[in-house]
Amino acid sequence: MKTLLFFVMLSFLSGLNFAQSDFEIKQSFLTKYKQIEVSIEYANDATECTGIAEQIEKLKNEFSSHSTMLNDALYPDDFASMFAKLNKKLSIRQTDVSQIGDLKVQVTELNDQLLKLNQENSELMSQVQTLRRSATKNAKTIDSLKYLVKRLSAKLKERDELVMGMVDSLFQQITVIPATVNDYESNGVFKKIATTNFFENIKRSVYDNMKFMRVTQLTTEDLSEIRGQQKELSSRWQKVGPSLAKVYLQNKQQANEVTQINELFDSWKQEIDSQVWNRVNDLFVKQNIHLLQFKSGEEFANSITTFVQDEIKNYGVKGKDESDKTYTLFVDSTWFKEVEPTWLPYLLNNKMISEANKDSLDSQIKMWKEKVSPSQFPLWIIYVVVGIIMVTVLSIVLFRKPIKVDNDKPEIDS
Amino acid sequence: MKSIIIAAAGILLFSFTGCSSLTLSPANFSWAIESVLPVNQQGIVTDKRYAVSFNAKPLFFAEKGDSALYTDEELHIIKNEKGYYFITAKSFSGVYVFQETEGALTMTNKILLKNNLVNPAFNARFPWIELVDGSEKYLLDNKGFKGN
């Protein structure tokens, strides 16, 4: 009885043929169309795109019987042009999605390589430290230390490139999608950050570079290279960092990571500067010259000036030989041998000292030199001799008799 | 004399021909789909697509006896091939037919229905205008129902 009742109801309901308005058909078409547009915008992978292509085909079939009416109703578009637009949108999204897919694969590969490199670098770093601490500093030890440092430097660079590859890929992903938290979520940016240990890898890269500087003795060339590396990595991070900071406003932990990385890049820069000043100071310490501590161009200039002026003022107080020895060690063995040819150009190029600082230092050294070995030949004698020569030349020019030239000489007939 | 009369008649005929109105036909003014338009606070209805706007207050006065009862109302409007406007709305007793005149829409007919409309909609069904209300369907022209 129940079944019979059900069939009666069903046949009654299906018999109710509600008339449909064209306007409603148009509205229904536009609503479904808009839904597909939104799905396209949020599609994450190729499978979703394929599903959307099927939905488009379904929509087309569903409304094809109304295409004539829709051609007019959708003015200034028409049925065909609306689908052409939708397919174009889907095709653009498919390209984006495939690029993101490729990047994901690349990132996974990069991650594996990174793990390997991190391990190798740690081993190399500890070997370098062991060798540096080793008491026996024979030629063999020094050679192997040099070799290890070189290898470590190359490996660090290789690892940095990989990390920055990750930063770049994330940057590309961020730029192809709208920047709101939900969009980042739906496009897997957060997932990528989590699965690739994104923040950890960047931090590790910066830490290792700082550690490398501490365990090795770097030349000006090395320091220039590291400074270039710091600038390059920092500028690449700056492309992504501010966007991520904005996105992670809600997430305290992740926001802290972004801030920490920003601070790390600053610390790295300060560490490079600090290494440079330490290296310069070491040159003087090696000669048993102890300057006031300096950490900037101004402090460096003040430290040298104070030392030189003290030496000039106290010249001979502790004995002439002692003062001369200090001068020789400072000026000849350190300043003219290493600081001026090697470090001053580096400091100037990297704007760690100003031209004015350099000029002031040059004049201080000149004054000290004048004090230690004054010119033997008095300068006033040169001035007098030059004066006499000038007066003589002027007298000759002014008081000489003019030579008379006789132009009226009669012609001699031959 | 005869020839003078013929000449005068010819001139008269020629001048009448010159003054006769110019007609462009056939013409089709039909809209492909109805417009469902809200009445604004001033009682004005505007259709951007067809660049038409008019004061709807007199229509509500005619239908409800109060020209202020237009707030939150939507009008269903469609134009047939002859250029007549068919206008109705929910709870209206019928369909109003208007014609464009100088700066106004002038009612030419009111097609009354047995019951007030519940959920009306117009469809263009050349040469007719289809009025749909739930399961009810009517074919209309400016004179009334089809067949009347």
pLDDT band at residue A396 using 50, 70 and 90 as cut-offs: confident
Select the more confidently predicted residue: B70 or B12: B70
CB–CB of B33 and A26 under 8 A?
yes
Distance CA A234, CA B53 (A): 61
CB–CB of B33 and A22 under 8 A?
yes
Residue B29 has a pLDDT of 94
Q: Does A135 touch chain B (CB under 8 A)?
A: no
Distance CA B17, CA A26 (A): 48
CB–CB of A21 and B137 under 8 A?
no
How deeply is B5 buried, as exposed, middle or buried, from its count of CB atoms within 10 A (0-12, 13-18, 19+)? Answer: exposed
* Nearest CA-CA distance, residue A64 and chain B, Å: 16
Distance CA B57, CA B61 (A): 6
Q: Which residue has the tokens 């406007």?
A: B85
| Beta strands B85-88; B74-79: pairing state | antiparallel
Residue A13 has a pLDDT of 42
Tens of pLDDT, residue by residue over A300-328, are 999 999 999 888 888 878 788 888 888 88
Q: How far is CA B3 from the centre of its chain?
A: 52
Share above pLDDT 90 across residues of chain B, in percent, rounded to a whole number: 73
Chain B residues closer than 8 Å to A24 by CB: 121
Select the more confidently predicted residue: A18 or A393: A393
pLDDT at B97 over 90: yes
pLDDT at A57 over 60: yes
Which chain A residue has its CA at the smallest distance from B30's CA? A72
Select the more confidently predicted residue: A215 or A408: A215
pLDDT band at residue B62 using 50, 70 and 90 as cut-offs: very high
pLDDT at A233 over 60: yes
How deeply is A134 buried, as exposed, middle or buried, from its count of CB atoms within 10 A (0-12, 13-18, 19+)? Answer: exposed
Distance CA A79, CA A64 (A): 8
* Nearest CA-CA distance, residue A60 and chain B, Å: 20
* Nearest CA-CA distance, residue A1 and chain B, Å: 30
A23, A69, A75 member nearest B49 (Cβ): A75
Q: Does B122 touch chain A (CB under 8 A)?
A: yes
Q: Does A375 touch chain B (CB under 8 A)?
A: no
Select the more confidently predicted residue: A216 or A75: A75
CB–CB of B121 and A23 under 8 A?
yes
Residue A12 has a pLDDT of 41
| Beta strands B136-141; B144-145: pairing state | antiparallel
Residue A182 has a pLDDT of 55
pLDDT at B129 over 50: yes
Select the more confidently predicted residue: A177 or A296: A296
pLDDT at A52 over 80: yes
Residue A67 has a pLDDT of 92
**A2-11, A51-60, A256-265: the lowest-pLDDT one:** A2-11
Q: Average pLDDT for residues B90-107, to the nearest whole number?
A: 96
pTM to 2 decimals?
0.47
Chain A residues closer than 8 Å to B118 by CB: none
Q: How far, in Å, are A104, B96, B112, B130 from residue B143 at the CA level? A: 69, 11, 11, 14
Tens of pLDDT, residue by residue over B12-44, are 555 555 556 899 999 999 999 999 999 999 999
Distance CA A166, CA A189 (A): 12
* Helix/strand/coil percent split, chain A, to 5: 80, 0, 20
Interface of B with A in 4-23 (CB under 8 A): none
Q: Does B132 touch chain A (CB under 8 A)?
A: yes
* Nearest CA-CA distance, residue A70 and chain B, Å: 9
Mutate to test the interface with A, among B28, B33, B35, B36 (most CBs of A within 10 A): B33
Residue B40 has a pLDDT of 93
Which chain B residue has its CA at the smallest distance from A76's CA? B49
For residues A107 and A166, the answer to whether their CB atoms sit within 8 Å is yes
Residue partners of A114: CB distance under 8 A and separation at least 6: A159, A162, A163, A201
Residue B2 has a pLDDT of 64
Which chain B residue has its CA at the smallest distance from A20's CA? B132
Task: Count Cβ–Cβ pairs < 8 Å, chain A vs chain B.
Answer: 40
pLDDT at A188 over 80: no
Interface of A with B in 64-123 (CB under 8 A): 69, 71-73, 75
> Does the ipTM surpass 0.90?
no
Dihedral angle, C-alpha A376, A379, A382, A383, nearest 10 °:
-170
Q: Give the 3-state secondary structure of residue B86.
A: strand
**A17-31, A150-164, A185-199, B120-134: the lowest-pLDDT one:** A185-199
pLDDT at A191 over 80: no
pLDDT at A17 over 50: no
Q: Does A21 touch chain B (CB under 8 A)?
A: yes
CB–CB of A22 and B137 under 8 A?
no
pLDDT band at residue A174 using 50, 70 and 90 as cut-offs: low
What does A267-296 look like in DSSP terms, one character per residue? HHHHHHHHHHHHHHHHHHHHTT--PPP-SS
Residue A234 has a pLDDT of 86
**A11-25, A160-174, A226-240, A334-348: the lowest-pLDDT one:** A11-25
Distance CA B67, CA B42 (A): 11
CB–CB of B123 and A73 under 8 A?
no
Residue A127 has a pLDDT of 77
CB–CB of B134 and A20 under 8 A?
no
| Phi and psi at residue B37, to the nearest 5° | -125, 140
Chain B residues closer than 8 Å to A16 by CB: 135
Most confident of A244-248, A298-302, A396-400, A405-409: A298-302
pLDDT band at residue A11 using 50, 70 and 90 as cut-offs: very low
Residue B44 has a pLDDT of 94
CB–CB of B34 and A22 under 8 A?
yes
User: Please, what is the average pLDDT of chain A?
Assistant: 79
Which chain B residue has its CA at the smallest distance from A68's CA? B32
Q: Average pLDDT for residues A164-187, to the nearest whole number?
A: 60
Residue A127: how many other CB atoms lie within 10 Å:
16
Mutate to test the interface with A, among B123, B125, B126, B131 (most CBs of A within 10 A): B123
Tens of pLDDT, residue by residue over A127-136, are 777 776 765 6
* Nearest CA-CA distance, residue B63 and chain A, Å: 23
Tens of pLDDT, residue by residue over A70-113, are 998 898 899 999 999 999 999 988 887 787 677 666 666 766 77
Residue A247 has a pLDDT of 63
CB–CB of A21 and B122 under 8 A?
yes
Chain B residues closer than 8 Å to A23 by CB: 33-36, 76, 121-122
Residue A8 has a pLDDT of 44
A16, A21, A71 member nearest B123 (Cβ): A21
pLDDT at A257 over 70: yes
Residue A238 has a pLDDT of 81
For chain B, counts of helices (H) and of strands (E): 2, 11
Mutate to test the interface with A, among B37, B130, B132 (most CBs of A within 10 A): B132
